[in-house]
Structure 1
Amino acid sequence: MSENLFAYTATNSGYSEGTAGAINGERAAAATALSAVKNKMTGLNGDPAFFNFFDRNSSRLVLRQYNYTSTSEPNQIIDPQAATWSSLVTPIVWSGVANLHGVATSGR
């Protein structure tokens, strides 16, 4: 069964706009069977990044959009296996956290 195995972001040379995509394939297939899925998300700011975590048995992505200020853009939590990548929950601004650079989970 083909699935999204890796998420990636790309930014233009002026760091004014970003996009996100995935590397798609089957875990047991040869590396040559992998393919890039472009533009799963477009219109991102100039320095987006993904951070992976597990929600019980489901892989999730946190999308951070860096904005070079002391206040953060809202972070999105995304299901990387969904056909359309959109927030699973209302985008979140965590107070006291500007420009997220990693995530970790604890407990449930």
Structure 2
Amino acid sequence: MQRLEEKLTKENLWIYVLSILKERPAYPYEISELIEKRFGWKPARVTAYMVMRSLRSKGYVKVSVRRGEDTGKMRNYYEITESGVKLLEKGLQFLERTLESLKGEGKG
């Protein structure tokens, strides 16, 4: 069971990140905190930054530098792009189809 949990969480962090960013732009540390609060697990800081960098290089998120509301410090805020929304939707559809098939509710 532990292996399944790791595969569906840590190894697919991108889908959690895009889900959070679909709601609003956020900076990396905040995204990790929101994932913990919403999904019940916290990604490693280095892993979260690596995933953000990968999503950015592929055009699924974009970055803007602005002053944080909490501390007033300049922060890199990540925002989902249109292609990121499409990727998230495809990922969620895949998970839904897989779950339906596992439950015996899928086609054929």
User: Could you say which TM-score interval applies, normalised by the shorter chain?
Assistant: under 0.3
Which of the pair has the greater relative contact order for Cα pairs under 8 Å at 6+ separation? 2
Structure showing greater Rg:
2
Q: TM-score, normalised by structure 1?
A: 0.25
